[in-house]
Amino acid sequence: MDAVSVTRPPAAAVRLLNPVLLGLLRTPLGGPIGRSVLVLRFSGRRTGRRYEVPATAHRWDDGLMVLTGARWRLNFRGGRDVDVVFEGRTTPMRGVLVEYARTVAETYAKRFEELGLEQAQRRLGLKVNVGRLPTVAELEALVEREHLSMVWLKAR
């Protein structure tokens, strides 16, 4: 058994709940949710189609980041302009995809240290199958196996 695994809700639940979550974030009822969830608004790199994606927000240095393995992240290869709705404000930002496994694993490890085991598992969508914080090596194996990466978001 792997030390860490990804927990994903069923695709049907995501398709059903994402529009509800996006709607809630547009109202005052979204306040508590809006402190941990952001919305990315961007155009597809190949199709030009507009996307609006909710994701868990992580504060990092002077910006934000999203840790994910979702396919939409590939739109941020090489950098892309994005409007980020977070805490009730829309901010134009630049999103850049980071795929280097060691860097991503070290970032996950730091979030585990900051959040603690229980909260980190919920916020990161991971399940730790050992009774301790995962090591960077264990997280790096997970990042490579599950194609996890991060999208850095910095103000333009």
Least confident interval from 4-18, 20-34, 112-126: 20-34
Q: Evaluate whether 84 touches 153 at the Cβ level (below 8 Å).
A: yes
Contacts of 82-88 spanning 24+ positions with Cβ under 8 A: 82/40, 82/41, 82/42, 82/153, 83/40, 83/41, 83/42, 84/38, 84/39, 84/40, 84/41, 84/153, 85/25, 85/38, 85/39, 85/41, 86/34, 86/38, 86/39, 86/57, 87/34, 87/35, 88/31, 88/34
pLDDT digits (tens, 9 = 90+) for 40-50: 999 998 899 99
Tokens 């860097």, residue located: 103
pLDDT of residue 18: 76
pLDDT of residue 30: 57
80 has which bridge partners? 95
Q: Indicate whether 140 pLDDT > 70.
A: yes
Question: Whole-angstrom Cα distance, residue 154 to residue 17?
Answer: 27
Q: Evaluate whether 34 touches 72 at the Cβ level (below 8 Å).
A: no
Reported pTM: 0.88
pLDDT of residue 110: 95
Q: Which two tokens stand for residue 105?
A: 């694993």
Residue 9's pLDDT band (cuts 50, 70, 90): confident
Question: Whole-angstrom Cα distance, residue 80 to residue 154?
Answer: 11
How do the domains of the chain map onto residue ranges?
4-155
Q: Which two tokens stand for residue 19?
A: 């529009």
Residue 31's pLDDT band (cuts 50, 70, 90): low
Q: Indicate whether 27 pLDDT > 70.
A: no
Q: 68 vs 14, which has greater pLDDT?
A: 68
Q: 4-155 architecture in CATH?
A: Roll (2.30)
Residue 29's pLDDT band (cuts 50, 70, 90): low
The C-alpha angle 99, 75, 66, rounded to 5 degrees, equals 55
Which helix (H) or strand (E) segment holds residue 109: the answer is: helix 101-115
Q: Indicate whether 34 pLDDT > 90.
A: no
Mean pLDDT of 100-117: 96
Mean of the per-residue pLDDT values of the chain = 89
